[in-house]
Structure 1
Amino acid sequence: MMKSSVSNCPVPSEQQPLNEYEELKSSWLFRDCTLNLREYITKIAWIWGISWLVAFPVAAASFAPHKQSAQFIISSIAGSSVGVVLVVARLYLGWSYIRDRLMSPIIFYEESGWYDGQNWMKPQEVLTRDRLIVSYSIKPIITRLKMTFAGLAVLFVAGTIVWHLV
């Protein structure tokens, strides 16, 4: 049934949204979003820890740890959170791009280079399949990433309040 529509697809294999989705889902950074909540939080904590290795010396150079310990701790936590924000932003942009390609009824593709772009109208069965993938696989990932952003925003606000109280 779907085989005939997909086999008649003029879009090169590597530019077909379903193949782009499968590739993204299996790539080392993006597959972390598909893990269960505990494993996902563990991966985010590892990213934070690696970012802390950079933020710690900067915070120590800015605030003497033995004299201004509260400012040192808050600034090292905030600095290491910047790395997490950058990674989560990259994840969000990647998954959003794939979501948009799957949801779109028309796919732009390049046949052999940047100068010869074409559009392909998805058949209804392909569009339905792609939209089901978005609904059941990609929307939960994007929701998780939005919640991660919200959690980071809450931590930044809390850190700012504590900074002003200290």
Structure 2
Amino acid sequence: MMESSVSVCPVPSEQLPINEYQELKDSWYFSWGTLDWATYIKKMAWVWGWSWLLAGPVASASFAPQKALGQFILCGAGLSTLLMGLAMLRLYLGWTYVRDRLADTTVVYEESGWYDGQCWTKPPEILTRDRLIATYEIQPILGRLRRTFGLLVLFLCIGGFIWILL
């Protein structure tokens, strides 16, 4: 029965929310949200470490490591954390977009270009399937990303407190 509903669906295959979800899940970057905790933490640490390539020179230009080592480390760590926050924001926005497309009762799509937008109402069985995926697959990913954002803010606050003490 599901096959018959999908076969009469006018939405191009690449614009179906279920296919957008699968693409996101299979992509190199967005799949990080689906990894187990240990691998996820390693990826985030990797991003934070590599962001020091940009943050280190900026921090050293602001605070000479020979004279103000504490400020240099805190500035570099803060900038790296902000850069990591931008990477996390991109992950969050991508997953939120697909979750919203899955949970919506209609699919907005384009047949050949931006000027011919159409709307298709999902049949009940497809809507149920999509909402189950949004709830049980994507919501945990978004929760993990929100917790990571919370930790980043906590680290920035701790760094700011330490900065005041220096």
Q: When the two structures are superposed, what TM-score results if normalisation uses the length of structure 2?
A: 0.98
Matched, 1:150 2:150: yes
RMSD across aligned positions (CA):
0.7
CA deviations 1:54-105 (Å, max 9, x no partner) are 1111111111112111101100100111221010000000000000000000
Structure 2: runs of 5+ lacking an equivalent: none
The aligned counterpart of 2:73 is 73
Q: 1:10-159 alignment to 2 at 5 Å?
A: 10-159=10-159
| Matched AA of 1:161 | F
- What secondary structure sits across from 2:107 in the alignment? strand
Deviation at 1:156, TM superposition (A): 0.7
Distance in 1 of aligned mates of 2:19 and 2:46? 29
Q: What is the CA deviation profile of residues 26-61 of structure 1, one whole-angstrom value per residue up to 9, with x for unaligned ones?
A: 111001111000100100000001101111111111
SS at match of 1:119: strand
Task: Output the TM-score relative to the length of structure 1.
Answer: 0.98
Q: Within 2, Cα distance between the matches of 1:158 and 1:49?
A: 19
Partner amino acid, structure 1, of 2:118: Q
